[in-house]
Structure 1
């Protein structure tokens, strides 16, 4: 698809899906972030200037609060109450004046806020994508890391956000503010190093054959990233296993008593009786086998007990026992089962510690991104 045609389509989508804003700019997409859900009340104020409160942006404000005043919104008998005033509709829109920002329970945010009545109050931040990233990147990667690693993270975070818009559409916003999407804490998280990284990559997005990619990232691969089919069960061509410059990084160990392991198995619907044997081939990074992927991550483990046997996937075991990754070995030690492995996260896409290592070896952010996402192009979308 022609790049400029795609750009026109993207902006048309951004315009028709975003709530009209008095502060948004037409040259940059706006995104909506769910900050909180199920609240009984929330306090809002402006950092400076007037705070405007609307029932909808097509009408005049129902309240104009001077600087220093606070808006207290709560749910009372299934009605929204704003500073004691009953609101007929199911939402409130709160905007700061042109010279201020909005505080939500004393934490400052760029853009503006919508409050939705949905089993309590849902707090939604409407924010331009670049401003959103300034509150994301320092929470996803240490701001003290090298500039090229931070720039790679900025592009990955921007691409992920644009690809996953409407992920929480049924809840009234695009993305949540937790690690389920990307950790976002607004202006209180901003650091000059990460803001600089966002600004230096302004509007840059990763594409594969004309489509924005799902730019997944994780903490550390342990020595080799993973291919999507070994995590999701389906192949994504740009999420392929790639080797790292360092092996066996971020070592970890977890121990589980035999009794606790049996109890967890039973709760998962996998009763074994007494555990007799665990079958899993030895870990070798970059060398696959029947029960391990090419990266060395566990595909399956056979547990043999007195009343039967059970095969569990590496992903199942990671979930059941809260393991950092699926790159592990298993052994008995006394009355315990020991999981010992490397890395942290699902292993797909960019490894943050791997990006740090590549940046320290002189690679720029484009080199880093092209290392982790196979066959992609980096384009300036806006």
Structure 2
């Protein structure tokens, strides 16, 4: 591959969109700029009073022109969800999906990465941390673009057993994005255009790692990352499709990589979660955390170890709304299977009306939070059990933030602060991988 690939990023899907062309853009044979709006009607896009199947706005000068999308939703399904205006380089492509307008930003991969590592991290993070993130973001993106339709496995559900004992296992993996490569939110990787202020250090990180990717056995690595592993890395197959990657295997997030307990055992996982063991990501250093956590991320104070409490009424209502199943009163939340980091990938909900095992980790996190629980590495305490065996309160004590697979962003920030270079950071999290220059 000699040329820089282009990437198509889905930004938003709404009945109507408002945007501003900051500079001259070509649309068909016309030159346009300034405030614009488009609506969806009968499966068509209405712009300037004319119906279109799709529209593309291409900048005359890609180096200086940009476009601003109004009221973009960020943090979809997460606790920091909000709307903001966002500005982007490259072309704007409008199509119709599911009766709404989808906005797609088309631009070179390296330009895309300038925004991603400023959105996923702070633009003021250390150079080695930004270089490491540039390589994993580039690797993950190109691995997704290269995936065939047969390998997407974006959501899988199955139900087995009797009517009273069901198993419902599902996972999400970059949805079936037929018309673009990746989305712009945490579901894929955060991409917020040039809205997140970049710095000369971000540009230096991109230039220093230009075209570099992680590879294993001749293939691009599916280079996952999350905020905080909680002390031990999780395996890919416990979060997504049942596929094993030799470079995504359990390791302690510390200098002593092989010193980790068997967290698939319930007693061991409980001891681990209730303690605060040494790990790179076990830090409260505000300077280090500010490199990883953007403004809204910093609203989350406790992530290495955390606690959530629900009354019986709260948890019964929450699970009913979030899963769509009426369990009645909740008798218990029972661990069924844990992964290498202690994350549950199967959990049994024992209710008054229904008992069902759910998974994988994100389905569990969705079921037990108005947005998404910090992670599925938790133990359950039941308090105030009545004569019928129903607790009056549930306390979840947990570890980590996110799925825990691949690079731990907070751990990587600590490694950088301790003097590790970006290659050492990457090979700590992606076992026996190599760093190759693709273009």
Write out per-residue CA displacement over residues 88-114 of structure 1, whole angstroms, 9 at most, x where no aligned residue.
553233323366312234743222222
Matched position secondary structure for 1:234:
coil
Match of 2:402 among 345, 363, 366: 345
Matched position secondary structure for 1:241:
coil
Measured in 2, the distance between the counterparts of 1:225 and 1:259 equals 34
Give 5+ residue unaligned stretches, structure 2: 71-85, 147-173, 255-277, 283-303, 385-391
Q: CA deviation at 1:45?
A: 1.9
Matched position secondary structure for 2:103:
strand
Matched position secondary structure for 2:341:
coil
1:318 aligns with 2:365: yes
Match of 2:25 among 40, 51, 64: 51
Give 5+ residue unaligned stretches, structure 1: 1-6, 12-26, 55-61, 281-289
> 2:10 maps to which residue?
34
Sort the Cα spacing of 1:332 and 1:29 in 2 relative to 1 into closer, same or farther, 3 A: same
Measured in 2, the distance between the counterparts of 1:241 and 1:275 equals 33
> 1:257 maps to which residue?
311
Instruction: Map 1:199-218; keep pairs closer than 5 Å.
Output: 199-218=207-226
Matched position secondary structure for 2:119:
helix
Match of 2:382 among 322, 332, 341: 332
Structure number with larger C-alpha Rg? 1
Write out per-residue CA displacement over residues 316-375 of structure 1, whole angstroms, 9 at most, x where no aligned residue.
432211321122121123421100111100111110011111112221111111111122
Q: CA deviation at 1:144?
A: 3.0
Sort the Cα spacing of 1:373 and 1:360 in 2 relative to 1 into closer, same or farther, 3 A: same
Sort the Cα spacing of 1:101 and 1:271 in 2 relative to 1 into closer, same or farther, 3 A: closer
> 1:132 maps to which residue?
112
Match of 1:104 among 56, 68, 86: 68
> 1:195 maps to which residue?
203
Query: Does 351-360 or 115-124 show the bigger shift?
Result: 115-124
Write out per-residue CA displacement over residues 255-299 of structure 1, whole angstroms, 9 at most, x where no aligned residue.
11123333455564777665556655xxxxxxxxx8433333335
Matched position secondary structure for 2:194:
helix
| Two-structure CA RMSD over aligned residues (Å) | 3.0
Instruction: Map 1:211-250; keep pairs closer than 5 Å.
Output: 211-232=219-240, 233-245=242-254, 246-247=278-279, 249=282, 250=304
Contact 2:345 2:364 in 1 (8 A): no
Sort the Cα spacing of 1:29 and 1:336 in 2 relative to 1 into closer, same or farther, 3 A: same
Matched position secondary structure for 1:187:
coil
Q: Normalising by the residue count of structure 2, what TM-score does the alignment of the two structures yield? A: 0.68
Contact 1:53 1:95 in 2 (8 A): no
Matched position secondary structure for 2:13:
strand
Contact 1:220 1:352 in 2 (8 A): yes
Matched position secondary structure for 2:180:
coil
Measured in 1, the distance between the counterparts of 2:353 and 2:40 equals 56
Q: CA deviation at 1:219?
A: 0.3
Match of 1:63 among 30, 46, 50: 30
